[in-house]
Amino acid sequence: MPHQGLPVVLVVGIVAGWLAGQIMRGAGYGLIGDLIVGIVGAYVGDWLLPRLGIFLGRGIVAAIIDATIGALVLLFILRLVFGPSRWGGGFRRW
Range of the domain at 14: 6-82
* pTM exceeds cut of 0.85: no
- Note whether residue 91 is domain-resident: no
Q: How is 28-47 classified by DSSP, letter by letter?
A: --HHHHHHHHHHHHHHHHHH
CA 55/CA 76 separation, integer angstroms: 22
Look at residue 84 in the predicted model and tell me its pLDDT. 60
What average pLDDT values come out for the chain (94 residues) when binned by 10 residues?
A: 69 83 70 79 85 85 87 84 58 42
- Note whether residue 27 is domain-resident: yes
Look at residue 32 in the predicted model and tell me its pLDDT. 77
Total number of domains constituting the chain: 1
- Note whether residue 25 is domain-resident: yes
Look at residue 89 in the predicted model and tell me its pLDDT. 47
